[in-house]
Amino acid sequence: MTNTPVLSAINIYPVKSCRGIALKTSHIDTWGLKYDRNWMVVNAEGGFLTQRKYPQMALIETELNPDALLLRVPNMPELRIQILTKPPVAEGNSLWSRWQHIGVSEIKSSSGSI
CA end-to-end span of the chain: 51
Side-chain-side CA neighbours of residue 59 (13 Å): 11
What is the rounded CA–CA span in Å between residue 112 and residue 106? 10
pLDDT score of 11 more than 90? yes
Residue 6's pLDDT is what? 83
CB neighbours (10 Å) of residue 23?
16
Say whether pLDDT at 47 is over 60: yes
Mean pLDDT is lowest, of 44-48, 50-54, 109-113, for 109-113
How is residue 91 annotated by DSSP?
Answer: T
- Global pTM value: 0.67
Q: Would you say how long the chain is, in residues?
A: 114
pLDDT digits (tens, 9 = 90+) for 14-30: 999 999 999 988 888 88
Residue 86 pLDDT: 65
Helix (H, G, I), strand (E, B) or coil at 57: helix
Say whether 34 sits in a helix, a strand or coil: coil
The neighbouring-strand residues paired with 64 are 69
pLDDT band, residue 54 (cuts 50/70/90): very high
Q: Where are the alpha helices (DSSP H) in 1-114?
A: 95-100, 104-111
**Rounded to whole angstroms, how far apart are CA atoms 60 and 104?**
11
